[in-house]
Amino acid sequence: MSAHDETGHCIDAGTGFGLAGPSRGLGAVWHRYHGPVLSADPEEHERLLEETYRVGLPDIEDGVNQMLGRDPTLHRPPRLAWDGLIEALAAEQIHVSEEQLIEIPLVVELDEEVLAALAAS
């Protein structure tokens, strides 16, 4: 996880946090399905999701937003995943709270290894 200060300097928190889960089927949907309706019949729609769905960036973004407390419709974990970034920013004399970080824009960028794994699933 990293942040850019007002000069564009990247402040890297090192290792952030991880998400784990199935990469296929209904279990790969982190919070909500982000694709088209596959069938007007709900049971058939669910069967098709189970057979064809692959985890994608929207699912990863949902997981990140949950771990960071950014989506009020998701269960908020008892401990958010901001600690490393807050410490890295403090080392640069930038003092922020979890609530301030929740409010600022966030861009989820995946490294090449993760992109390759998504493409292969």
Rounded Cα gap, residues 2 and 15, in angstroms: 9
Query: pLDDT-based confidence at 121, cuts 50/70/90?
Result: confident
Mean pLDDT, all residues of the chain: 89
25 and 51 in contact (C-beta within 8 Å)?
A: yes
19 and 64 in contact (C-beta within 8 Å)?
A: yes
Rounded Cα gap, residues 109 and 121, in angstroms: 18
- 47 or 114, greater pLDDT: 47
Domain that holds residue 39: 2-120
Residue type, 1: M
Query: pLDDT-based confidence at 87, cuts 50/70/90?
Result: very high
Give the single-character DSSP code of 116.
H
Residue 120 has pLDDT above 90, yes or no: no
Reported residue count of the chain is: 121
What residues contact residue 60 under an 8 Å CB cut-off, 6+ apart?
19, 30, 108, 110
Residue 23 has pLDDT above 90, yes or no: no
Confidence at residue 51, expressed as pLDDT on a 0 to 100 scale: 92
Domain count, the chain: 1
Mean per-residue pLDDT, 3-26: 86
> What are the tens digits of pLDDT across the range 49-79?
999 999 888 998 998 999 899 988 888 888 8
Residue 110 has pLDDT above 80, yes or no: yes
Q: What is the DSSP code string of 37-87?
A: ---SSHHHHHHHHHHH-B--HHHHHHHHHHHTT--TTSPPPSS-S-HHHHH
